[in-house]
Chains A and B, each alone.
Chain A
Amino acid sequence: MTTEIWWASGIFWRKTAIWVTAGSFVVLVFLTFDSMSQITAGTKRVPAYSAINHRIEYRFDEARHVQVPVIGAEEPLFGRKLTEQEAEALVDKGKLTVQAKNCMSCHTLLGNGAYYAPDLTKAWLDPFWGSREMREELMVEFIKDPSDKLHNGLGRRMPRLGITDEEARAVVAFLKWMSTIDTNGFPYNFKPLDQEN
């Protein structure tokens, strides 16, 4: 074995590979701890579940140059103010239903999922619902039986997924809560349902 130039030897690169991998992973773990502390429900970026007791708006933030969700005056979902525990239980049921009905295989949530149906990140704020007063009940009715509701000019329709009244209300709660998450301005340039300015 002749002398090898160190930076071209297998041993050097094996060590490098191990150190690079370990180093990157340690940095990732560190960042994960920090991110977790910032996205736990009840923080600035990801509000508590009881946010569904309030009006949600989406406003332009001058300092950050993006739109951010703003939690406004009290405006309980389905006219009933919930405690933190009740709100969490309701949102949890909604999230379970969203997974059990496989919503993500047509829709995107926070932009992830399939592209056959619209993004649900700001479903609660979408102008599709017409007015703030009608929105909650329209959403519940739509989710329970979408087959005969107005969709679009394409003929693309959401199927009936056997969603009960209880599940539908929980899904609406989940969607309302999801609209409070600070997504760094995604979706950009969104024009929400009529807001009080």
Chain B
Amino acid sequence: MTALGTIDGTNLNGGQKLAVKYFCVAAILFGAQIAFGLLAGLQYLIPDFLYEVLDFSINRMVHINAMVVWMLFGFIGSAYWLMEEESGIPVVGLKLGNLVFWIFTAAVAVVVAVYLLVQIGPGEHSTLWLITEGREYIEAPRWADIGIVVCLLVFFFNAAATFNKGKWTGIGGVLVLDLIALFGIYLAGMFYTTNISVDQYWWWWVIHLWVEATWEVLVGVLMAYGLMTVLGARRKIVETWLYIEVALMFGSGILGLGHHYFWIGTPEYWLSIGGFFSALEPVPLVAMVVHAVFDSGVHKMRSSNHPAMAWLIAHAFGNFFGAGVWGFMHTLPQINLYTHGTQWSASHGHLAFFGAYATINIAFFYIAMQKWRGNVWMSGDLVGGWKWKWSMVLLNLGMVGMTMGLLVAGYEQSQIERAIEGSTWAGYFAAQAHPWFQQGMFWRMIFGGMFAAGYVLLVLDLLTIGRHETRPAQNVSAGG
């Protein structure tokens, strides 16, 4: 047994050893997401920057693909992290899981290398199979799609077999069922069709149902586990609330798909369905506020891991503002007619993805580091505690700043390009040249830099936090 505060694999169980591998790749891809986001952002300000070398389309594609994959890696890692503790037995088929991790990582590296070096291909099916599928968020070529499904199947097998051999908990049950949906829905995005309306109809199945349904539920699972670990909340209550959350999320999220079917050729009834669920989707968020206040009053709010706790709180706020406020501001069809496909969507996307998903992954990174160093103290008066606090400030402030810059640009765009100029190309460029737009993009860049600085500090902190600690983690298991 090594000393407390040293990174040592013996501190982790088998699933957790695999989890930290996923976390490492996730953290690296998070960095790639930021780097390519900065390049793409800069091209708004300096259009000739890297022209025909690394065009905006490539930077933007890597930016959003890195995001999808790092979050997916974070979720998979988090699931392996809690698997053995939840089921009570070692992960079944861990060797296969390990093998798949290396295959998955290698495949991601190949896909990114092809994105950057080959970039595009001739207008033939071979391009879609080998280079890129050219569909936003799921640009990965078809061979990689098949690979992703196989990897997710192995992941599903690990989870289902482990819980089945050990014991099924509420968390385990929801997790396994959600994984079925996770890979099942991905299949909807794996075919080619000439008809762009049909194409986008199924494309939204993958994008929306992944992001606003299965990912949200996955986050619910992780949150439930996180609250038990960090706060010592009771399983029975946490699991009941997980079910309530699943009912609310799927109840509003599945048909909430309607708000993507306003303008792609789909029938008019989607305007009513989308509008209806858009109006009601924030109700569960408001309900969660009550629960959070109740909990904070009933529990002894002592956390064994302050950074993780702080990021879980950031998750609650980020989800509320990013998905709730920013979503509802422009989602009713009466206004979405003007905001659809402008920087409004970018503003909402940035805040919502970060608030809902990046935050919870970062919380899990901290939970992992604590255990990896032998369950070291991570509560108050942490040695070098300024680092996690400052990285958190920089990341959150950077994100809020970027969101605001994009919001101003999107607001101007919806007025000038859409309402006044009638969405012609001349109108589009008039709006792009407007000072509000240009300044919005400038400030987005500044805050993007701040965000990047926060990331560097975050990585530094994750590598060093708890290194000089000699106190064991605070015990919170007695909490009510």
Contacts and interface: CB of A to CB of B under 8 A. Distances in A.
A contacts B directly in the complex (CB < 8 Å)?
yes
B196 interface: yes
Interface in B233-276: 236, 239-240, 243-244, 246-247, 250-251, 254-255, 257, 261-271, 273
Interface in B304-326: none
B424 A127 contact: yes
A113 B255 CA distance: 22
Contact of A106 (B56, B127, B236): B56
A156 B243 contact: no
Interface in A16-62: 16-17, 20-21, 24-25, 27-28, 31-32, 34-36, 38-41, 45-46, 49
A94 to B, nearest CB: 8
Contacts of B337: 185-186, 188
B422 A191 contact: yes
Contact of A188 (B52, B244, B423): B423
B243 A13 contact: yes
A170 B122 CA distance: 12
B310 to A, nearest CB: 29
B147 interface: no
Contact of A93 (B123, B273, B418): B123
Instruction: Give the secondary structure class of B's interface.
Output: helix
Contact of A99 (B135, B255, B266, B432): B135
B345 interface: yes
Interface string B415-443: 00011001111101100110000000000
Interface residues of B, number: 83
A14 B243 contact: yes
Contacts of A41: 194-195
A9 B240 contact: yes
B263 A101 contact: no
Contacts of B164: none
B46 to A, nearest CB: 8
Interface in A74-116: 88, 91-106, 108-116
Contacts of A32: 201
Given A45-B267, A110-B200, A16 B47 contact: no
Given A16-B243, A24-B255, A100-B132, A115 B346 contact: yes
Interface size range on A against B: 35 or more
**Most A CB within 10 A of own CB, among B55, B170, B201, B346:** B55
Nearest to A160: B52
B165 interface: no
Interface string B336-355: 01101111011000000000
A114 B349 CA distance: 12
Given A17-B250, A21-B246, A100-B131, A105 B196 contact: no
A190 B268 CA distance: 19
A102 B61 contact: yes
List the 8 closest pairs (A to B, CB-CB), nearest first.
Answer: A97-B123, A99-B134, A187-B423, A111-B341, A186-B263, A105-B57, A13-B243, A24-B254
Interface of A: 8-10, 13-14, 16-17, 20-21, 24-25, 27-28, 31-32, 34-36, 38-41, 45-46, 49, 88, 91-106, 108-116, 118-119, 122, 126-128, 147, 152-157, 159-164, 167, 170, 178, 181-191
Interface of B: 40, 43-44, 47-48, 51-52, 55-58, 60-61, 119-125, 127-128, 131-136, 139, 170, 192, 194-201, 203, 236, 239-240, 243-244, 246-247, 250-251, 254-255, 257, 261-271, 273, 337-338, 340-343, 345-346, 418-419, 422-426, 428-429, 432-433
Given A13-B240, A114-B60, A188-B337, 18 more contacts: A10-B236, A13-B244, A14-B243, A21-B247, A24-B251, A36-B201, A39-B197, A39-B266, A94-B123, A99-B132, A100-B122, A102-B119, A104-B136, A106-B57, A113-B136, A116-B56, A126-B425, A156-B47
